[in-house]
Structure 1
Amino acid sequence: MLLLSIILLFICIGLTIYFLFLLRQRYQYFSQRGIPTPPFRFFFGHLQTLWNSASFHRQLESWTKQYGKIYGIYQGTVPTFVVSDPDFLQEVFIKQFPVFQGRHEISVRKPNDVASSSGAKWRRHRHIINPTFSAAKLKMMSPLINGCISNLMEKLADHATNNSQFNIYVYYKRMTMDVICRCAFGLDTDLQNNPNNIYFKKVEEIFTTNFRAHIVFKFAQLAPGMRNIIGKIFLGMNKARAFINIHILPLISTKQLHEIPGPWLVSRLHPIIEQRQQMPTSRVDVLQLMLQAITEEKINDDVSNNSKANYRLTREEIISNILIFMAAGYETTSTALACATYELARHPEVLEKLQSEIDQLPLGNDETSDEEAKTYPDYDIVAQMPYMDKFVSEILRMYPIANVAIQRCASEDTIVQGIKIEKGTVVYADVYSVHYDRELWGPEDPYVFFPERHDIKRHPMAYLAFGAGPRHCIGMRFALIEMKILLVRLLREYSILPGDHLESKFNIRERSVIAPEEVWVKLVKRTA
């Protein structure tokens, strides 16, 4: 027995030494390639620095200034290229897309949607959802978008009448959530009149929670191989809390245990699917297109079996996609509108140029029988506004909202710009460094808001607001049309002045996305 114990001890010591040897070899990944890297700690790599940093993207930007446009960091033991060289990014995101199709996922949930999946599964999701955002479908959604904006305009009219200063960002959030619910899922939530709607509160919680600071997120980063086990434990605990909330606490207390918002929403979306299946509609939206492809059978995403005839979605995949679109359609668009309003309040000359272009537009769609709708801009009108295009592009250049998602993971060994990249290596696009690069965006100072800079044709990878390559944001055109219709209607009727707290309360923060805290403005009715 003693001999067996000694043998086991030596085996454990040997395995530990071998593991440490492998780690040491791993941490030579960049030095072997002549790639600079900031100082790091064994096992953690650069994660402790990133966790303790107030801003992930600003930390990358700071390192870029110090180490250049291509350098390396370690997310735990995962080697990650941080890149702001546009030619390198073009190779990764476009030319070698088959090698860099997927992202380095550290979520504890199974990749079941168009945003988190990769390979054949991603192609299947994209093929089914893509038609929703065609020009024809967006034209059909214009009246729904305008209906939500009409509700918003009623709320803003009260502030204009009272000559009051207010935080307009709050209203944008409610409006964009209203739009995504109506246009994507056929749900008339009346969120703008009922801001305490529980679904709205749960989606808002997703974006106010700093998941990067959560212990489960950190464990998943440090031990990606344990991600599935960590996820099952974490989600299992949440299911237990949900069971207690539904079946036990109502009998003894009015209080509820906290459930994390994602799983809470998933559990409540099943009835929406069932109701829509029982009551078919002629509306063409994201949910309807996904339901047309629903299957109860197990899907095989093996490449050899990946024909268009097999492009189906399971119920769980549909629910995951609903959650993604609710979250993405809500926060990103409202944040872009908030930043746009902030810059308009600071730049009256830009405001005047936009209003001049808007005043030259036809009132609306003369073909409709709805007299009120004739005064509303539709898809065709807002799609042909050159100065508006430049203005929105400049907003998204200076305020890239979801830049953390712009990364790819190599699915096999390859060579990019003469650098050997092994399977499993991650490439991060340092979006802020790209968007503020004087070589890419000069001669005007990139830190100055200047829409006219978009008159000049730039490098294909100089603008990454919606990602790049085949995997660019699927809802890009929808978001742009929604933004432009809102801005046309708002600026046709009002001028925007800065509130007393515009600068002090703007305060860009970084959680799930990069967003301001508040945008305080004053609306002044325009005279004819």
Structure 2
Amino acid sequence: MAVAYILLGLLTVAYLLYLHFTRTFNYWRDRNVPGPAPVPLFGNMMESALRRTHAAFVMQKIYQDFPNEKVVGIYRMASPCLLIRDPDIVKHVLIKDFDNFVDRGIRFNNKKMGNNIFHADAKTWRILRTKFTPIFTSGKLKNMVYLMNQSSDKVMRHLEELVQIQPEQEVYELMGNFTMGFISACAFGLDLDPTEKSATIEALKNINEKLLGLSHAYELILLYPGFAKFGVSVFPDELVDFFKGLVAQVTAARNGLPTNRNDFMDLLLEMKQANKVQGSKRLEGKDAEILEITEDLIVAQAFVIYAGGYETSATTMSYMLYHLALNPEIQERLAAEIKEVLDRYGGEITYEALKDLTYCDRVFHETLRLHTVGDSILRVAAEDYKVPGTDVTLKKGLTAVIPNIAFHYDEKYWPDPLKFDPDRFSPENVAKRHPAVYLPFGIGPRNCIGARFAKLEIRLMVAKLLSRFRVEPTGNTRREFR
């Protein structure tokens, strides 16, 4: 009898869980919005939740399965979301109607770096964006080229020694040496040689491994947004402690005061001194918003700047070299441009010289089209929103999902989409294409704040490398990249 009661209890719990996780599964059908059938517990994200594929590829598959629709109704766990397939609607959400879609709807524990500028709520983001934008002006970037040259020269000397011993090298670690040096110097004022063994370098490399391991926990939050209510953090304590220590170290070196470096840490120190920061824009007749500057907030910004400047750029550069190795004619065309430009500038890699590497820019953008770093773009509706060109209303609090990778591989916009063709980004081809089908950095006010820095460091790395070396595939190089 006891066993029967236990079984009955388990069945009751299972049934209640089933009801809970399927309670919204008629939401889109009741509103005549097409979409794939959801699965209890997972919604439409089972393949991603079980680690069979990346969430971005799940969204791409859904995008491809509904070729005639402008929007598709989907579910993250039990949460209804609207997948956007139409670039005109994308442009509305990210630009024209941005004030209704400021929030990404990604909530992490604010005491564990969750309140960074990338994940911050609308209020916090508005204020931080205003303060951070001046870091990436042309004048500031121009000053950074000197620091990048110094740092990359150390890596190049190490690389020249390495290839004498073993010409076959794994490029990701090498590119990570470049980007670690760049972001350490330009953001934190650290003069490091990433090729040497030191306590600081080893600590940074350990942290870099932690950054690469964040994707599993991050996707879990994306799949099950409700977990955020429990103060879940995707950032392990070791990562949080490291960036707290880094901020404390740099702050102590500067005596707690801004210097004349005008770098990222100076900005954080200025904010810390002020204690509170006021937004520059009044909304709906209200007073400008005030943001209290806490240690947790400072550490969160340090983390996101380092993560964005190091890992994403190293990954992009690695893919770029991969495609150059497989396409020697493109590599030679790029090398010729680098030689011509550097000859014009007396062999010096200056900010102006890097701006003139226009074919390099095409190669960079084509690499990002094929290898977009990150997940789909998410935006939460602040108010009910009638989706332009449809009969669908996205209710307040629901999420619009913009599957950037799906757009990047859609042959409607990119003929022969698997082909690596930098000339897709020639001025004439860009002018003919809808602006909202290329989204590696997003578009609109909440696009990637570090995009200009990323372009600059990639151009400098390529100029350094191809002015001295050529890259070739080896017997271990995969010819198919997806």
TM-score w.r.t. the length of structure 1 is 0.78
Greater shift, 334-343 or 63-72, is seen at 63-72
User: Is contact 2:90–2:402 with CA below 8 Å preserved after alignment?
Assistant: yes
CA gap 1:275/1:306 in 2 versus in 1, 3 angstroms: farther
Output one character per residue of 1:331-352: Cα deviation in whole Å (capped at 9) or x when no partner.
Answer: 1111111001001100010011
The aligned residue for residue 332 of structure 1 is 312
Question: Distance in 1 between the 2:209 and 2:137 partners?
Answer: 31
| Count of residues in Structure 1 that have an aligned counterpart in Structure 2 | 453
Deviation of 1:314 (Å)? 3.3
Paired residue for 1:355, among 322, 325, 335?
A: 335
Output one character per residue of 1:235-277: Cα deviation in whole Å (capped at 9) or x when no partner.
Answer: 9xx7xxxxxxxxxxxxxxxxxxxx5423443355334334334
User: Is contact 1:176–1:333 with CA below 8 Å preserved after alignment?
Assistant: yes
Output one character per residue of 1:398-432: Cα deviation in whole Å (capped at 9) or x when no partner.
Answer: 1111234x211111111112320011111121112
| Residues 1:174 and 2:177 are matched in the alignment | yes
User: Is contact 2:18–2:40 with CA below 8 Å preserved after alignment?
Assistant: no
Q: Secondary structure at the match of 2:169?
A: strand
Paired residue for 2:352, among 373, 380, 385?
A: 380
Q: Secondary structure at the match of 1:283?
A: coil
Question: Distance in 2 between the 1:23 and 1:340 partners?
Answer: 42
Deviation of 1:210 (Å)? 5.1
Deviation of 1:469 (Å)? 0.8
Matched ranges for 1:387-398 at <5 A: 387-398=359-370
Paired residue for 1:37, among 26, 35, 38?
A: 35
Question: Distance in 1 between the 2:94 and 2:123 partners?
Answer: 17
The aligned residue for residue 210 of structure 2 is 206
User: Which consecutive unaligned segments of at least 5 residues does structure 1 have?
Assistant: 1-12, 239-258, 366-373, 509-528
CA gap 1:195/1:57 in 2 versus in 1, 3 angstroms: farther
The aligned residue for residue 341 of structure 1 is 321
Question: Distance in 2 between the 1:346 and 1:438 partners?
Answer: 22
The aligned residue for residue 464 of structure 2 is 489
Greater shift, 193-202 or 413-422, is seen at 193-202
| Residues 1:62 and 2:64 are matched in the alignment | no
Paired residue for 1:122, among 122, 125, 143?
A: 125
Question: Distance in 2 between the 1:220 and 1:398 partners?
Answer: 23
The aligned residue for residue 440 of structure 1 is 413
Q: Secondary structure at the match of 1:164?
A: coil
Amino-acid identity (%) = 26
The aligned residue for residue 269 of structure 1 is 247
CA gap 1:229/1:57 in 2 versus in 1, 3 angstroms: closer
User: Which consecutive unaligned segments of at least 5 residues does structure 2 have?
Assistant: 1-11
The structure having more radius of gyration, on CA atoms, is 1
| Residues 1:161 and 2:164 are matched in the alignment | yes
Question: Distance in 1 between the 2:292 and 2:145 partners?
Answer: 28
| Residues 1:499 and 2:474 are matched in the alignment | yes
Deviation of 1:283 (Å)? 0.7
Question: Distance in 2 between the 1:136 and 1:103 partners?
Answer: 30
CA gap 1:138/1:125 in 2 versus in 1, 3 angstroms: same
What one-letter code is carried by the residue in structure 2 that aligns with 1:347? N
Q: Secondary structure at the match of 1:502?
A: coil
Output one character per residue of 1:15-61: Cα deviation in whole Å (capped at 9) or x when no partner.
Answer: x99x9988766322211232222222335423433212322222221
Aligned-pair Cα RMSD in Å: 3.0
Question: Distance in 1 between the 2:146 and 2:277 partners?
Answer: 37
Q: Secondary structure at the match of 1:41?
A: coil
The aligned residue for residue 102 of structure 2 is 101
User: Is contact 1:51–1:213 with CA below 8 Å preserved after alignment?
Assistant: no
User: Is contact 1:29–1:79 with CA below 8 Å preserved after alignment?
Assistant: yes
The aligned residue for residue 472 of structure 1 is 447
Paired residue for 1:462, among 437, 451, 464?
A: 437
User: Is contact 1:36–1:71 with CA below 8 Å preserved after alignment?
Assistant: yes
Question: Distance in 1 between the 2:259 and 2:314 partners?
Answer: 28
Deviation of 1:471 (Å)? 0.6
The aligned residue for residue 134 of structure 1 is 137
User: Is contact 2:385–2:393 with CA below 8 Å preserved after alignment?
Assistant: yes
Question: Distance in 1 between the 2:23 and 2:100 partners?
Answer: 24
Q: Secondary structure at the match of 1:497?
A: coil
The aligned residue for residue 288 of structure 2 is 306
